[in-house]
Structure 1
């Protein structure tokens, strides 16, 4: 065949086991980013008595990892565009797993918060780049489907967390390693939550760097080797020479001669907010911000809120067990400590929550095959807004559970799909930094959402819920304004 780019080469090679292996690697990487960040709800409940945490401390425990991911996101994306997606994912996993283990051994909430922040600084790389790494092994016709399939990792992670908690927490497992040092069950829970990360670290070490990146930095032979690996895994290694795949090196005109790393970092960031990329990038960013704001910001608190629910026949915001979220009450302007509550009894709702993610990922995957991605985004986000609005009226336990879960999960399944839209709307040499910067700024939404629920839900539950509804409505409109063919 004549000289071709990587897209044509991947079409020539075809779909097979090579892409499935990359999908599996990205799947477990995605699972780990979710178990590490969303499993904190169980820890917050279990440490309530041991550390005597108040409302502010619980909120800090819930949000510091997300804040770390915001802080490091763009820088890791910049490094990914310089040194490779695979390299940065491996470094991110190693750092996150190491400090996650250290976090599980911390003696007080202050040290816990510091190490969780460091975990977030590392975790941002693997969480943001997993989708980019995946789709750069896929030809354009397969990318949307692949990004949706790997997203099932989120649902399985959210089922994995309550199943592990249900197996461990009711037994009050403790391990005394010294006279005054006792390890409680939540520490072992954190260690188990990191298992997908160790699997991801081993598996990604066994696959090559993406051919797109290798070609973009002029490493033509290495790019061919990566494509040859895909062909071999697809059972076409023996006919590789017959394919006659030739690649043309790309010129990376964004790397300016003589420019320092800091200036280049700023220069590349500014480029994303200038034509011709600005409108596309900002549109995708607003959508991702809204998804993280509602689905992650509220989702972190989901196990805690549902564990506090007493199945009363009242609106969610009229249920004192939920609006207080088990935290301190205020009398005459002063907080007074209540008897702490560190028992986790409701595991079924979090399992239902994870199952809803799997179901709605399936729905979104089917819809992607039938209609353009921007309409899939608009339909899901709009449905989430409607379900959230219904929380103003519904009062039966089942309807509250369905609407509250739907508010979080229906838009939440779109993170990878929205990321794939961002990738397709930008050139190869800007994808890594755009993904990481976009995810980083979007995760600012999760930090704001987490703090909003933790600090404001008790003050005004109705206002808090409707803030999420209004922003999701705005995101629905933005989805419909995305370019044609998206």
Structure 2
């Protein structure tokens, strides 16, 4: 009979039906998160039509939820290391869903903008804690694979929104009036985006808190009970029958004196910026920011860029400038075929994720990131001279999808190099900077795309190249 390390216990338990349910639940949270944050970009043309938005206002709308996420990411990371992964995710999902539904009912743009900001503010508790949660129930060797499979859900979410938009697009010509309130199809679309969240909340009630978190806060007995139930579900026998009578976790912090909130937040954050964590934390954060800057930045504006592109034999920047000065295209024209391009983008994202899962069987995590980043750089650079409609679409889709699909890979690296008591805060802080990069990317596209189009695209290419170079310095996991 022994007291075993929690990672050794997870290796002994293996991956079974209980973890599969956890992956499914976390996947639903990913779909909800993607549809709430990125889904606005896919119906941006219809929103701009209803509210008569300028590019600057559309830029504000695209970054509103990200701004909310940025403001509360660090705090939610602090809370998840103090209160628990599951608890914070559950509260966050419920509050974000309420805020999202309220935003759909708003009759004016700035009220709608405010509630989109509030949705981002409230959803931060689930935004990356789902990755932390599932990684802490998975043995180390499988973490990259499981996190990547869970993040297939982001791709399904990216497909789901344009599919629904495509079938609802005929309703955009039909206006239902309730007094001064107007219901358009994009509002129904956004309501349907919330449906995965309802199921995720229901399933989350029956899931346990992670044993690693419980050990980090001194609840050893509850941690053992959690792992014991997991073992019974997966193997049909308890831990005692395997000779394990207790669990412990290495690298836990020593007990400290009680501090007020600000002092506690400061002392819990400082270790991330000291050895031995500083180098790996900064490299992972910069790479993650690059993935968000290019992958999510392009995706947010993808439908708007496609709406402004013609079928002429020009490079993409000449198309955008030509359409901008042409009076032949109405801002409020509804071409259902544009949503097909959104579906293509989502399918490409899913394909890249599936390929990552296959490559992880034979290839190291960092090598896959290098490969994807180099191909994305070539695709982005090709937009300087490609002229035909189809090659331009393929290059844009791959430029965005290859880097966006790499986000789970760098997230799993970050989970591996940071100890449990700092993991939630590290992940949330890293994602906070990454989301700030999306805000910057959206502002650049919104303000520079027409007057400085080639410069704008090449800024994104440079970021992709920097990411490729930094992958050489990633730790091997």
* TM class by smaller structure: over 0.9
Structure 1 residues 161-218: Cα deviation after superposition (integer angstroms, max 9, x where no partner) = 1111111122337674633222111111111011111121111121101111111111
Aligned pair count reads: 474
- Residue 298 of structure 1 is matched in structure 2 by 298
Instruction: Please state how far the C-alpha of 1:310 moved relative to its aligned partner.
Output: 2.4
- Residue 347 of structure 1 is matched in structure 2 by 339
- Residue 353 of structure 2 is matched in structure 1 by 361
CA distance in 2 between partners of 1:315 and 1:153 (Å): 33
Q: 1:28, 1:200 within 8 Å by CA — same for their partners in 2?
A: yes
The range that moved more, 432-441 or 192-201, is 192-201
Q: 1:254 to 1:452 in 2, by over 3 A?
A: farther
Q: 1:323 to 1:237 in 2, by over 3 A?
A: farther
User: What is the correspondence of 1:271-420 to structure 2 with a 5 Å cutoff?
Assistant: 271-320=271-320, 324=324, 340-345=331-336, 346-420=338-412
- Residue 333 of structure 1 is matched in structure 2 by none
Q: Name stretches of at least 5 consecutive residues in structure 2 with no aligned partner.
A: none
CA distance in 2 between partners of 1:183 and 1:171 (Å): 10
Secondary structure of 2:182's counterpart equals strand
Q: Name stretches of at least 5 consecutive residues in structure 1 with no aligned partner.
A: 331-335
- Residue 241 of structure 1 is matched in structure 2 by 240
Q: 2:73, 2:428 within 8 Å by CA — same for their partners in 1?
A: yes
Q: 1:313 to 1:254 in 2, by over 3 A?
A: farther
CA distance in 1 between partners of 2:388 and 2:210 (Å): 51
Secondary structure of 1:47's counterpart equals helix
Secondary structure of 1:298's counterpart equals helix
User: What is the correspondence of 1:69-468 to structure 2 with a 5 Å cutoff?
Assistant: 69-172=69-172, 176=176, 178-234=178-234, 236-245=235-244, 246-248=246-248, 252-253=252-253, 256-320=256-320, 324=324, 340-345=331-336, 346-468=338-460
The range that moved more, 171-180 or 296-305, is 171-180
CA distance in 2 between partners of 1:38 and 1:232 (Å): 39
Q: 2:321, 2:450 within 8 Å by CA — same for their partners in 1?
A: no
**Two-structure CA RMSD over aligned residues (Å):** 2.0
TM-score (norm 1): 0.93
CA distance in 2 between partners of 1:311 and 1:269 (Å): 51
Structure 1 residues 92-127: Cα deviation after superposition (integer angstroms, max 9, x where no partner) = 111110100000011111111111111001122211
- Residue 47 of structure 1 is matched in structure 2 by 47
CA distance in 1 between partners of 2:255 and 2:316 (Å): 53
CA distance in 2 between partners of 1:96 and 1:70 (Å): 15
CA distance in 1 between partners of 2:226 and 2:174 (Å): 48
Secondary structure of 1:4's counterpart equals strand
TM-score (norm 2): 0.95
Structure 1 residues 320-346: Cα deviation after superposition (integer angstroms, max 9, x where no partner) = 36874xxxx69xxxxx9x953252421
The range that moved more, 55-64 or 181-190, is 181-190
Instruction: Please state how far the C-alpha of 1:24 moved relative to its aligned partner.
Output: 0.6
Q: 2:25, 2:204 within 8 Å by CA — same for their partners in 1?
A: yes
Q: 1:356, 1:409 within 8 Å by CA — same for their partners in 2?
A: yes
CA distance in 2 between partners of 1:401 and 1:43 (Å): 19
Structure 1 residues 128-178: Cα deviation after superposition (integer angstroms, max 9, x where no partner) = 111111111101111111011111111111110111111112233767463
Instruction: Please state how far the C-alpha of 1:255 moved relative to its aligned partner.
Output: 6.4
Secondary structure of 2:3's counterpart equals coil
Q: 1:323, 1:457 within 8 Å by CA — same for their partners in 2?
A: no
Q: 1:305, 1:322 within 8 Å by CA — same for their partners in 2?
A: no
CA distance in 1 between partners of 2:474 and 2:237 (Å): 43
